């Protein structure tokens, strides 16, 4: 009996000791879970300088598609593609016989109206002189002659206006260069009927001495200042050559289709080395006028609902909404309700919920 009692005591003691060890192990595991260590850094503001490459397009400084103002046949065309032209140079001459006839008729009408006005004016002057002798001319006769003279004067002015209109239309038969440049398209030959209904222009003239380099700048970069007003760019035709253009203007608004602002640079095209329509690859250096918050790109968490970083405050996690700025190497510029000296996680994840207790492990940023 004593042996049995001793055996029971031994079994009970062993069970109690095992249970105590297990409870200690469970407590240690719980403490470990509650005190997960995470890599963190101290937030501070930084200045940055970044070179970004943008695709662009070269366009002529001026471009004119020349159409016929009036209907007619091409009589002469004096230029062809590649020809250099000066402002005011005659490019083409049209002929429209009906317009010439109309002009001749209008000119004849002017001569007739002028003759009638001269006669009525002479008659009026004579009757005015005669009326100085009292009782010679009736008052009604004087007024009638005056009215006739004024009507003939008005008819003469109307005829002159009509003649000027036909003369202006005749001027449209001679097509001149609107500015100095080069002819890049020719779509007609002598004898072609042209008019306002033509789908294609008669000629296209472009001023290629100066080219516009237009770059679409993403929204994030529009508030950053380029380090210089100069931009260096390359084209496929001369891959080993760097060209330089100067900032001329900005559009001042975003293109709603792609959220970019158009920046325009001017390039002096010496020797017409570059051609309008070429694609260019331009490099711009950007910086901020004042330091901003830069964090490792891994610190920013983006899910379907928001973009945030995780801040540790009093050992607990907080989600802070942020907006991204410019990315520089492996860092990202952020904006939000943040202050210098905040403790942020190096690698954020939405698996860490707000309020979770964490043990910070400080790393250099």
**246 has a pLDDT exceeding 70:** yes
Mean pLDDT of 228-243: 91
- Bridge partners (DSSP) of residue 261 are 217, 254
pLDDT of residue 289: 75
Question: Is there a single domain that holds both residue 242 and residue 231?
Answer: yes
Helix 139-171 and helix 97-130, axial crossing angle in degrees, nearest 10: 160
d(CA 150, CA 356): 100
CB 304 within 8 A of CB 242: no
| Residue 312 is assigned to a structural domain of this protein | yes
Higher model confidence: residue 43 or residue 132?
43
- Bridge partners (DSSP) of residue 27 are none
Give the count of domains, the chain.
4
pLDDT of residue 30: 47
| Residue 132 is assigned to a structural domain of this protein | yes
d(CA 20, CA 14): 10
* Residue 80 pLDDT level (bands cut at 50, 70, 90): very high
- Bridge partners (DSSP) of residue 167 are none
Domain end position, chosen among 287, 307, 336: 287
- Nearest of 207, 198, 191 to residue 66 by alpha carbon: 198
- Count of residues making up the chain: 365
Question: Is there a single domain that holds both residue 167 and residue 182?
Answer: no
d(CA 11, CA 27): 25
Question: Is there a single domain that holds both residue 154 and residue 181?
Answer: no
pLDDT digits (tens, 9 = 90+) for 299-315: 999 888 889 999 998 88
pLDDT of residue 276: 94
- Give the torsion through C-alpha atoms of 86, 87, 91, 97, to 10 deg: -150
Question: Is there a single domain that holds both residue 86 and residue 108?
Answer: no
CA 339 centroid distance within chain: 36
pLDDT of residue 112: 85
Domain end position, chosen among 234, 253, 287: 287
- Bridge partners (DSSP) of residue 204 are 65, 185
| Residue 4 is assigned to a structural domain of this protein | no
d(CA 263, CA 288): 18
| Residue 2 is assigned to a structural domain of this protein | no
Question: Is there a single domain that holds both residue 212 and residue 283?
Answer: yes
**Locus of tokens 């779509």:** 187
Report the SS3 class of residue 13: helix
pLDDT of residue 27: 47
pLDDT of residue 6: 56
Mean pLDDT of 233-250: 93
Mean pLDDT of 140-160: 82
Q: Read out DSSP for 293-327?
A: EEEEGGG-EE-SS-EEEEEEETTEEEEEEEEEEEE
| Residue 229 is assigned to a structural domain of this protein | yes
Report, in this order, helix, strand and coil percent for the chain, each rounded to 5: 30, 40, 30
Using the CB atoms, write b or e for 104-121: b if 16+ within 10 Å: eebeebbeebeebbeebb
CB 206 within 8 A of CB 182: yes
Question: Is there a single domain that holds both residue 125 and residue 192?
Answer: no
pLDDT digits (tens, 9 = 90+) for 86-130: 999 999 999 887 777 677 777 877 788 888 888 888 887 887 787
Question: Is there a single domain that holds both residue 223 and residue 323?
Answer: no
> What's the pTM?
0.65
Domain end position, chosen among 269, 287, 305: 287
- Domain harbouring 352, CATH code: 2.40.420.20
Question: Is there a single domain that holds both residue 215 and residue 283?
Answer: yes
- Nearest of 323, 298, 294, 327 to residue 308 by alpha carbon: 323
Mean pLDDT of the chain: 83
Question: Is there a single domain that holds both residue 78 and residue 102?
Answer: no
Question: Is there a single domain that holds both residue 191 and residue 73?
Answer: yes
Question: Is there a single domain that holds both residue 157 and residue 88?
Answer: no
Using the CB atoms, write b or e for 125-158: b if 16+ within 10 Å: eebeeebeeeeebeeeeeeebeebbeebeebbee
pLDDT of residue 5: 55
pLDDT digits (tens, 9 = 90+) for 256-304: 888 899 999 999 998 889 999 999 999 988 877 788 888 889 999 988 8
**2 has a pLDDT exceeding 60:** no
The alpha helices in the chain, defined as continuous H runs, are 2-34, 97-130, 139-171
Question: Is there a single domain that holds both residue 251 and residue 283?
Answer: yes
Q: If you average pLDDT over each of 5-14, 156-165, 198-207, 352-361, which comes out highest?
A: 198-207
* Residue 364 pLDDT level (bands cut at 50, 70, 90): low
| Residue 31 is assigned to a structural domain of this protein | no
- Domain harbouring 131, CATH code: 1.10.287
| Residue 324 is assigned to a structural domain of this protein | yes
The answer for residues whose C-beta is within 8 angstroms of residue 134's C-beta and 6 or more apart is: none
pLDDT digits (tens, 9 = 90+) for 35-76: 678 888 888 888 877 888 899 999 999 999 999 988 889 999
Please tell me what DSSP assigns to residue 363. Answer: -
| Residue 18 is assigned to a structural domain of this protein | no
Domain that includes residue 221, residue range? 52-61+208-287
* Residue 17 pLDDT level (bands cut at 50, 70, 90): low
Residue 55's φ and ψ, nearest 5 degrees, are -80, 145
CA 263 vs CA 17, 151, 351: distances in Å: 78, 61, 42
**28 has a pLDDT exceeding 50:** no
């Amino acid at each position: 009996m004593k042996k049995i009692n001793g055996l029971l005591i031994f079994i009970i003691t062993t069970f109690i000791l095992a249970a105590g060890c297990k409870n200690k192990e469970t407590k240690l595991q719980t403490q470990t879970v509650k005190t997960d260590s995470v890599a963190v850094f101290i937030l501070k503001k930084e200045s940055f300088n970044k070179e970004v490459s943008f695709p662009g397009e070269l366009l002529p400084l001026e471009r004119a598609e020349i159409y016929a103002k009036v209907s007619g046949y091409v009589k002469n065309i004096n230029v062809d593609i590649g020809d250099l032209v000066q402002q005011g140079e005659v490019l083409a001459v049209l002929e429209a016989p009906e317009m010439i006839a109309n002009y001749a008729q209008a000119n004849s009408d002017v001569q007739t109206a002028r003759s009638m006005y001269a006669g009525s004016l002479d008659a009026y002057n004579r009757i005015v002189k005669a009326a100085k002798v009292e009782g010679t001319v009736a008052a009604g006769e004087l007024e009638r002659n005056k009215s006739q003279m004024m009507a003939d004067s008005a008819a003469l002015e109307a005829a002159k206006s009509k003649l000027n209109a036909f003369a202006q239309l005749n001027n449209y038969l001679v097509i001149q260069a609107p500015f100095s440049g080069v002819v890049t398209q020719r779509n007609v030959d002598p004898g072609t009927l042209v008019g306002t209904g033509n789908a294609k222009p008669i000629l296209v003239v472009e001023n290629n001495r100066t080219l516009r380099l237009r770059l679409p700048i993403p929204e994030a970069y529009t508030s950053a200042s380029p380090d210089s007003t100069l931009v260096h760019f390359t084209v496929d035709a001369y891959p080993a050559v760097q060209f330089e253009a100067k900032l001329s203007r900005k559009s001042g608004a975003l293109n709603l289709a792609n959220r970019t602002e158009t920046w325009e640079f001017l390039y002096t095209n010496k020797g017409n080395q570059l051609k309008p329509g070429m694609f260019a690859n331009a490099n711009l250096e950007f910086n901020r006028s004042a330091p901003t918050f830069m964090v490792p790109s891994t610190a920013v968490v983006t899910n379907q609902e928001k973009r945030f970083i995780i801040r540790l405050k009093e050992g607990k996690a907080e989600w802070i909404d942020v907006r991204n700025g410019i990315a520089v190497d492996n860092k990202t510029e952020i904006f939000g309700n943040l202050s210098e000296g905040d403790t942020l996680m190096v690698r954020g994840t939405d698996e860490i919920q707000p309020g979770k207790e964490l043990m910070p492990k400080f790393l250099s940023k």
